[in-house]
């Protein structure tokens, strides 16, 4: 797996040996960032939840984000994210937190322009997590929340001030992009 675009394009990213981690494919990453780039989002600060390899957040850094926080509860994944940040030379523009996504939503204090979620496709609590994100102070006005998800557990179109903006399907991957109302 390689970084698909931006300043780190072509750099190979490591992945954990565990088969439980399902990194977003290059096609899905390209689709996500094409949709993000077509928005008027500042996309300066990024939160990558269920980060796994860190591929989505690293892609955002490669394409110009100034800061990214990576969240994964698996210690092996956190170690690999740090290695991938070092190999792409983005370690000074990132924080890696070994915690659950729900815990991160409670503890982080930064305001994010983009929140990336790539949970396991069989994760039943994604809709609940989206509601917590929508009710939190994490999102900057006009922020995007991008979810790469399966169709096993449907997602609601609205979560507080966060409403669906775009939906796309790529094979088994469904991409939902929510936008926070600007106030």
Domain ranges, ordered by start, for the chain = 26-180
- The answer on pLDDT for 52 being more than 80 is yes
Q: Which residues make Cβ contacts (< 8 Å) with residue 152, sequence separation at least 6? A: 121, 122
**3-state secondary structure at position 4:** coil
Integer CA distances (angstroms), 151 to 23, 42, 127, 170, 176, in order? 17, 29, 12, 12, 11
- The answer on pLDDT for 31 being more than 90 is no
Q: What is the pLDDT of residue 183?
A: 64
Tokens of 66: 């100034």
Is 26-180 a domain of CATH 3.40.50.150?
Answer: yes
Q: What is the pLDDT of residue 120?
A: 82
Q: What is the pLDDT of residue 40?
A: 75
In this prediction, residues 107-122 reach a mean pLDDT of 91
In this prediction, residues 36-58 reach a mean pLDDT of 89
Between residues 62 and 182, the one the model is more confident about: 62
Q: What is the pTM of this model?
A: 0.91
- The answer on pLDDT for 174 being more than 70 is yes
% of the chain at pLDDT higher than 70: 94
């Amino acid at each position: 797996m390689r970084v698909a675009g931006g300043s780190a394009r072509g750099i190979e990213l490591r992945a954990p040996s565990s088969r439980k981690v399902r990194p977003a494919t290059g096609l899905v990453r390209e689709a996500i960032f094409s949709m993000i780039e077509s928005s008027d989002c500042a996309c300066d600060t990024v939160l990558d939840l269920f980060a796994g390899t860190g591929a989505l957040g690293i892609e955002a850094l490669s394409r110009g984000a100034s800061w990214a926080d990576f969240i994964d509860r698996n210690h092996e994944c956190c170690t690999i994210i740090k290695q991938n940040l070092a190999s792409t030379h983005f370690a000074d523009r990132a924080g890696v937190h070994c915690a659950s996504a729900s815990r991160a939503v409670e503890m982080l204090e930064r305001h994010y322009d983009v929140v990336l979620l790539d949970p396991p496709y069989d994760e039943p609590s994604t809709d609940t997590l989206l509601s917590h994100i929508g009710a939190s102070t994490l999102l900057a006005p006009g922020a995007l929340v991008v979810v790469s998800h399966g169709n096993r557990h449907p997602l609601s179109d609205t979560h507080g001030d966060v409403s669906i903006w775009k939906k796309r399907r790529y094979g088994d991957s469904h991409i939902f992009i929510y936008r926070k109302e600007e106030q």
